[in-house]
Amino acid sequence: MKKILLVPILFLALNLFAQTNKYQIPLKTLQANPEAMETQSIWKVIDQNARANEPSLFIIQFYQIPGPDQRKTLEKSGLEILGYIGGHAYYVRYRKDRRNSQIKMLPGQLRAILPVTAPLKIDPELLARPLPKYVLKGDNISVYASYFKDCRQEQAQSELQRKGWKVIRHSVIGQLFEVELPADELEALAKLPWVQYIEGIGEPGTPENYTSAISSQASLLNGLSHSDLSFNGKGVRVQLQDDGIIGPHADYKNRIMKQFPNNNFGNHGDHTGGTIMGAGNIDPRGRGMAPGVELYVYSYAPLNDSIIKHHDKYGIVITSTSYSNGCNDGYTATARAHDRSIDSFPDLMHVFSAGNSNNSNCGYGAGSQWGNITGGHKMAKNVITVANVSDLGFINSISSRGPASDGRIKPDISA
């Protein structure tokens, strides 16, 4: 009888746990499960924080994910959804001048509300001391300032420059500016209404090594084995980001379509290039995963801004990068940039090595055998992150383990 009762009790406990966490807001600066509020109280918060001549920013939580019709009603109420956070919560911009007084107060739809203040926009790691050396730029620090979708980009860039801050770059696909400014002026940056989040620039990339055609069984597909299925990648165009110019080499002949770097900083790119598309002309054992692909070679660039133009110009549909940029670095601006590019180009896929940092404790909270994926870009939700296996098909002892910092399963596959 006890065993029979155990199953429904366990089910009930799990269901209650799921319901409790349904409304957990997963911000790095705020882990909150707010109490449900009366609709009238939510509008009171909105009215108290509303500005007469400019929009106000809130985090609004809904009981259910709003559909198209509900979004239209929200807009008529002066509420514009800017982006999803999680836990049924969204960034919402309120414009008092657009509110239609004839619209009802949306009873039963809005669950809770939080005004967005400057501290909620600043990565806690930027407030810790000492700061990482790669963030420091003389007397200033270098940060990524992500912006909301309603940002007027040219005006925003001009505003940054008027304040005396140096704009290093504007990444359209990353939806951010890289800015150099004094550390004590971070809050002033965060108070700009179009700024969504501020974090330090990513850790400089370091090369990694992760695959082989034999251990991944690619030889069964690309014609190297007796099966001769001939899935060799012919007609597919791949971007390789690495340490500079690769080759010349007999295995690359006539299939390196363009090299954008002007120099070379090592032979790591030669290795990863061979792993992707080496023909095996000198030694069949050196044949790559897809010896029929056409390769475009780039230097490593964390945000990969070039893919915006080159996806269409050259027909690139796969990118490959075996570089790290921070162990267990979380869902960073680089991760967001890669998710946005895949969202913009549905036929595009980014492929990353998981890393070689197993046995490193990267702050996940489970020791040195978990949570050491090396990079923010690898934490993206739509990319493929690849673990490193031995010739016998076992995960190598050095191959970085997941999960992602927010608990999602990573790596995605092993090879």
Which CATH number covers residue 27?
Answer: 3.30.70
Residues 112, 125, single domain; the answer is: no
Answer yes or no: are the C-beta atoms of 95 and 24 closer than 8 Å. Answer: no
Q: SS3 for 86?
A: strand
Answer yes or no: are the C-beta atoms of 300 and 243 closer than 8 Å. Answer: yes
pLDDT value for 223: 52
Answer yes or no: are the C-beta atoms of 123 and 195 closer than 8 Å. Answer: no
pLDDT value for 302: 93
Q: Which of 270, 266, 284, 316 has the alpha carbon at shortest distance from 213?
A: 284
pLDDT value for 53: 76
Angle 217-279-294 (CA atoms, 0-180°, nearest 5)? 100
Residues 322, 405, single domain; the answer is: yes
Return the structure tokens found at 124.
């806690």
Q: Is the dihedral of CA 258, 261, 264, 267 positive or negative?
A: negative
Residues 236, 350, single domain; the answer is: yes
Residues 280, 406, single domain; the answer is: yes
CA-CA distances (angstroms) from residue 83 to 57, 186, 304, 384? 12, 23, 22, 24
pLDDT in 10s for each residue of the chain, 415 residues: 445 555 555 444 445 444 557 899 988 888 789 999 999 999 999 999 987 778 999 999 999 999 999 999 999 999 999 999 999 999 999 998 888 766 667 788 999 999 999 999 999 999 999 999 999 999 999 999 999 999 999 999 999 999 999 999 999 999 999 999 999 999 999 999 999 999 999 888 888 854 444 444 444 445 555 445 567 889 999 999 999 999 998 889 899 999 999 998 889 999 899 989 988 888 887 788 899 999 999 999 999 999 999 999 999 999 999 999 889 989 999 999 999 999 999 999 999 999 999 999 999 999 999 999 998 899 999 999 999 888 788 889 999 999 998 899 999 999 8
Residues 319, 192, single domain; the answer is: no
Q: Which of 366, 356, 353 has the alpha carbon at shortest distance from 403?
A: 366
CA-CA distances (angstroms) from residue 305 to 176, 309, 359? 11, 8, 33
Answer yes or no: are the C-beta atoms of 179 and 322 closer than 8 Å. Answer: no
Residues 10, 47, single domain; the answer is: yes
Single residue among 116, 137, 152 that ends a domain in this structure = 116
Backbone φ, ψ for residue 65 (5° rounding): -60, 125
Residues 83, 185, single domain; the answer is: no
CA-CA distances (angstroms) from residue 211 to 110, 286, 354? 49, 12, 11
Which CATH number covers residue 133?
Answer: 3.30.70.80
Q: Which of 381, 382, 372, 386 has the alpha carbon at shortest distance from 408?
A: 381
Residues 19, 39, single domain; the answer is: yes
Answer yes or no: are the C-beta atoms of 224 and 280 closer than 8 Å. Answer: yes
CA-CA distances (angstroms) from residue 62 to 57, 112, 186, 344, 365? 16, 7, 31, 27, 31
Answer yes or no: are the C-beta atoms of 34 and 112 closer than 8 Å. Answer: yes
For 247, half-sphere exposure in the C-beta direction (CA atoms, 13 angstrom radius) is 20
d(CA 277, CA 238): 9
DSSP H/E element including 321: strand 316-321
Provide the residue range defining the domain that includes 224: 206-414
Residues 67, 170, single domain; the answer is: no
Q: SS3 for 263?
A: coil
pLDDT value for 8: 54
pLDDT value for 221: 46
pLDDT value for 32: 82
Residues 31, 59, single domain; the answer is: yes
pLDDT value for 228: 55
Which CATH number covers residue 379?
Answer: 3.40.50.200
pLDDT value for 18: 47
pLDDT value for 392: 80
pLDDT value for 107: 80
Residues 285, 327, single domain; the answer is: yes
Residues 193, 210, single domain; the answer is: no
Strand partners, 83: 91
How many domains in the chain? 3
Burial of 301 from C-beta contacts in 10 A (0-12 / 13-18 / 19+)? middle
How much of the chain is in helix, strand and coil states, percent to nearest 5? 30, 25, 45
Q: Is the dihedral of CA 45, 51, 52, 53 positive or negative?
A: negative
Return the structure tokens found at 100.
């239609």
pLDDT value for 94: 95
pLDDT value for 205: 86
